[in-house]
Structure 1
Amino acid sequence: MTTPQSTVVVTGDRTTGPLHLGHFAGSLQTRLQLQDQHQQFILLADTQALADHQGDYHGVRQAVIDIALDYLAVGIDPQKSTILIQSMVPELAELSFYLMNLVTVARLERNPTVKNELRHKGQERDVAAGFLTYPISQAADITALRGTLIPVGEDQLPMIEQTNEIVRRFNRMVGKPILRECEALLSNTTRLPGLDGKGKMSRAAGNHLSLSASADEITAAVNRMYTDAQHLTVGSPGRVEGNVVFSFLDAFDPDSVKVAELKAHYQHGGLADSVVKARLNEVLQALLAPIRARRQELAKEPDAILSMLLCGSAKARQTAVLTLHKVKTAMGMYYF
């Protein structure tokens, strides 16, 4: 294993369900590549999840187990990557509280990521305070674990910008470089669309395909995928842009030459949607079958999964404790 050169902190999705192909196309593949090169922390954000899943404690707890199973099933190695539960590292919450004093409500409301999520949920000010302040919580996660390289999608770039704003303001306040600035690492894969072609893939929209999907579920999902509404006959030319099937082939088919040939044939005319979907079905079955099998085996030992998460949380806490000690010392908050 290569000697770590920088810390990678991944703040988890605030979700109440297993991961899906959208995650795999972006962040999961990036994490797999990085775990052999850097010290990597992967955070299961159960505390943040409660901000928009109020009262669904059972669902959030189950999501922690489900997501951990998905990580392990795709190849995340707990010997190389530290997987932790946010609520099991209380220093993150304490640091969040201190950092809240460095950000105005107006600045939080201007955060494009927060604004977009509120618009998507159909909410404005009728939202939990914890949801509005989650950019601060994310900043605490990153800085407490000494993160310097953060894999994110383009929609999360404002979060990294705000984290660095907080870091600079804190360091100016105490007169020392206590907290580190970080750099965003964008995935090579663009955001994967939903099965219906409407926006990105998400559980909330019901247009996703879980990594644990059965063979029949994969086939059914591919069959209902949006292609080209104007491709009415086999002989007519079809559009590749906006065609969900081709977006998935670009993301998952290892044979890029074959994909290019299919695109050219489809655009020229003479290629049925069913042929392209059959190709994608074959690709996804081959991709997900071993992941599904490994996940099923791992799920038979829930105590081992919990033990791994507790060990990872304890390891991450060592770093967070040291960071918080430096923060409180710089702020003069020790009274003995």
Structure 2
Amino acid sequence: MYPDRVVSGMRPTGSMHLGHYHGALKNWIRMQTELPCLYFVADWHALTTHYDDPAVIERSTWDMLVDWLAAGVDPSQSTLFIQSRVPEHAELHLLLSMATPLGWLERVPTYKDQIENLASKDLATYGFLGYPLLQAADVLIYRASQVPVGEDQVPHIEMMREIARRFNHLYGKEKGFEEKAQDAVKKLGSKRAKLYNELRTEYQQDGKEEALAQAKAMLDDAQSLSMGDRERLFGYLEGSRKLILVEPQARLTEAARLPGLDGRKMSKSYGNAIALREDKESVSKKIKTMPTDPARVRRSDAGDPERCPVWQFHQVYSDAPTQEWVVKGCKSAGIGCIECKQPVIDAIVKEQEPMHERAQPYLDDPSLVRAIVADGNDMARKLALETMRDVREAMGLAYT
């Protein structure tokens, strides 16, 4: 069994804003203290929608890395790298494409959604159709056990699992696998071997997921097994023969949804975003000019926080007493809109102060970021090469 590992990435298509921070980066920062994490700049993915304007990619790549570091992603705990600097991603993508049914790509929900939402772009390209497969290669090449995603991305993870399962079934044909697996079962000892076989039957014949979980837990505790025997028993258990690619699990992230200044999704293209490292004067100006409840035409008019975009910011940034003050003051016209906005301004400025401090050394000396990424590229490539060695061997491509 391979060690638990987290993999995630972001496309460099523009500046990072507070929506990214609350929706993803805070989870990255928390997870890096729990498990080995690899976070990458998905620059090839950016080309799926920006192939006609690649100039934005290089600039956004370095800006985004500084934003990650500013937010608190720690290079001593996380591996930071650039997708295109690990060419094995592309090789695995190519090899997986040989056996991935076309219908699997066409049924991904976000495929049709993005075509509709980006109607101004010509997305009738293989790159766009195949991006979920490249996404799968990005994760499977590191044999990641967990991928942090929101609910809308769960279908992508399920497809990754199906691709890994299909690959293992097609190519996990280790010579004498059945005999080697049965020999490995005997090494568990008579009592554990009997339990393993019973649980394997329950899972394969009756589809009992709890039997699978119990058997996996037992194998995790069997310290006497070699890595090879452990892999065989996991594969034998699931009926997939040798385990070459790991089926990742979706780790649903706690996402505090931070809207844009106008109540819509925060996006640079909507002009309603607050950048991750925005200066405090600009933050203050943007919040002060935010639209509020249309019913509050005059200071003396009562309002309803539920109809005001500023209230959604209070739900993310303000404590219970402040929220209570807002609700009471707004509904009674006891406070004005500018007065209501000030706690939000103060909270955002306070949140961003350490980000500015952490970013400054990298802005003063950009070579620091490049050194971190160079080390990350090397580390990621080392892991990727291990996987590709096994993939090539399984597919009969290990000859010289």
Superposition TM-score, scaled by structure 1 size: 0.90
Superposition deviation, residue 51 in structure 1: 1.8
Aligned-residue offset at 1:168 = 1.6
Instruction: Tell me, in whole angstroms, the C-alpha distance in 1 between the residues paired with 2:356 and 2:259.
Output: 22
Structure 2 regions of 5+ residues with no counterpart? 173-241
Q: Distance in 1 between matches of 2:7 and 2:36?
A: 9
Q: Does 1:153 align with 2:150?
A: yes
- Distance in 2 (CA, whole Å) between partners of 1:328 and 1:237 is 69
Larger radius of gyration: 2
Deviations 1:94-128 (A, max 9, x none): 00111223333443232112222222111587433
Which AA in structure 2 matches 1:83?
Answer: L
Higher percent of residues as helix: 2
Contact 2:85 2:377 in 1 (8 A): yes
Superposed, which structure 2 residues align to 1:54-73 within 5 Å?
54-73=51-70
When residues 233 and 7 of structure 1 are mapped into structure 2, their CA distance, relative to the original with a 3 A threshold, is same
Taking the aligned partners of 1:82 and 1:179, their CA distance within structure 2 comes to: 21
Alignment match, 2:247: 181
Asked if structure 1 preserves the Cα contact closer than 8 Å seen for 2:148 and 2:250, the reply is yes
Distance 1:156 1:95 in 2: 21
* TM-score (norm. length: structure 2): 0.77
Q: How does 1:72-91 map to 2 (within 5 A)?
A: 72-91=69-88
1:84 Cα offset (Å):
0.6
**Conserved in 2, the CA contact under 8 Å of 1:46 and 1:60?**
yes
| Shift in CA distance, 8/100, structure 1 to aligned 2, threshold 3 Å | same
- Deviates most, 273-282 or 184-193: 184-193
Structure 2 Cα separation of the partners of residues 132 and 101 of structure 1: 15
Distance 1:126 1:58 in 2: 19
User: What does the per-residue CA deviation read over 1:59-118, in whole Å, with 9 as the maximum and x for residues that have no partner?
Assistant: 211111101101111111101000010000000110011122333344323211222222
CA distance in 1, matches of 2:3, 2:303: 47
Alpha carbons of structure 1 residues 197 and 37: separation in structure 2 relative to 1, 3 Å: same
2:100 aligned with 1:103: yes
CA RMSD of aligned residues (A): 2.2
Equivalent position amino acid for 1:229 in 2: P
Give the C-alpha shift of residue 135 in structure 1: 0.8
Give the secondary structure class of the aligned counterpart of 1:299: helix
Distance 1:180 1:226 in 2: 48
- Between the aligned partners of 1:211 and 1:304, the Cα distance in structure 2 is 20
Identity %: 34
Counterpart residue type for residue 6 of structure 2: V
Q: Which amino acid aligns with 2:281?
A: D
In the alignment, is the contact (CA less than 8 A) between 1:16 and 1:62 conserved in 2? no
How many angstroms does 1:311 deviate by?
A: 0.7
1:189 to partner: Cα distance: 2.5
In the other structure, the counterpart of 1:18 is 15
Structure 1's unaligned 5+ residue stretches are none
Give me the whole-angstrom Cα distance separating, in 2, the residues matched to 1:320 and 1:245. Answer: 45
> Within 2, Cα distance between the matches of 1:211 and 1:156?
24
Distance 1:25 1:242, change over 3 A: farther
Partner of 2:366: 302
Change (3 A) 1:294 1:333: same
Aligned to 2:334: 270
